[in-house]
Structure 1
Amino acid sequence: MTAALQRIQSLPSWLVGRVAARARGLVAEALTAEGLKLMHHAVLAASSEYGPVAQAELGRRIAVDPKDMVGILNELQQAGLVLRAPDPADRRKNAITVTPEGTAVLTRCAALAEAANAELLAPLTADEQSQLMVLLKRVYEAP
């Protein structure tokens, strides 16, 4: 390995990016047990938190392109996890709500994601895991 490459790979930004990619991979793999992809899970969770919510508003809140949101919601609706219905406040819009099955899937996905994160942090002691979380939150919340 060259000195230039070693320098790059020793940067916090490099290491955080590699760890983030591994973490996303572990969670994505875990969610396949429920037939979901990461973005399906995010849209389902946001629908649960904000719903009933207009489809366009949901996309804005979680920064998903409207064209992508349509496809994701189509798949979630086909799976019986969300419902689209005319928004009572504006019949020209669709309001998204999570079905009881969608709520059950979210509960199972939370357990799957926790297990994937436990696997990610397994090389660390419990104290190190706590310390890492404190430090990551501090970096994340910094201006």
Structure 2
Amino acid sequence: MSTAPARLRDKASWLVNQAATVAHRLAIDEFARSGARRYHYGILAAIDENGPSSQAALSRATGIDRSDVVAVINELADADYVERAPDPADGRRNLITLTDTGTRRLDHLEELVRDTQDVFLAPLKPAEREQLTRLLTRLVDHHHG
């Protein structure tokens, strides 16, 4: 266990923050080895789940700042993972769609995420992993209304 003061170690919020830091570091390292960033996974996953989306919708779906979404979409478009096309309902904005190459990339990144989850959650039994996920989901849902 860490050398942090006991007053910190017995606080769930502090522990969640510490665990999130470890998970974040593991994910960043794994994505970097594959030439990706975690934002790539989030944007590709959101488009896959929601279909063609505006940049604003992708920002809302992923929690990524709108200005960062533009940069990520530029990177993904340069790699032919997504395409931009005018929105037929509103010509002032573009819809971002997943290409076939982007779908394959998302599948690859999903494997990396699964591997990272296995490393991060290694000390937990399968039932404990499910329980942790349920509890964290409840907390997030409660605070995001």
TM-score (structure 1 length as normaliser): 0.85
1:38 matched residue in structure 2: 38
Q: Which moved more, 1:61-70 or 1:11-20?
A: 61-70
Task: Render the CA deviation track for 1:42-99: whole Å, top value 9, x for unaligned.
Answer: 1121122223122233223333332222111111111111001111112221110011
2:58 matched residue in structure 1: 58
Q: Return the index of the structure with the highest Cα Rg.
A: 1
Question: Counterparts of 1:83 and 1:124 in 2: how far apart (Å)?
Answer: 40
1:124-143 correspondence runs (5 A): 124-142=124-142
Structure 1 runs of 4+ aligned residues shifted over 4 Å read none
Are residues 13 and 103 of structure 1, via their aligned partners in 2, closer, same or farther at CA, if it must alter by over 3 Å?
Answer: same
* Structure 2 runs not aligned, ≥5 long: none
Question: Counterparts of 1:63 and 1:43 in 2: how far apart (Å)?
Answer: 10
Question: Counterparts of 1:134 and 1:54 in 2: how far apart (Å)?
Answer: 30
Are residues 141 and 53 of structure 1, via their aligned partners in 2, closer, same or farther at CA, if it must alter by over 3 Å?
Answer: closer
Question: Counterparts of 2:141 and 2:67 in 1: how far apart (Å)?
Answer: 31
Q: Which moved more, 1:61-70 or 1:117-126?
A: 61-70
Equivalent AA in structure 2 for residue 116 of structure 1: T
2:15 matched residue in structure 1: 15
Aligned-residue CA RMSD (Å) = 2.0
2:96 matched residue in structure 1: 96
2:68 matched residue in structure 1: 68
* Structure 1 runs not aligned, ≥5 long: none
**Identical counterparts, % of pairs:** 39
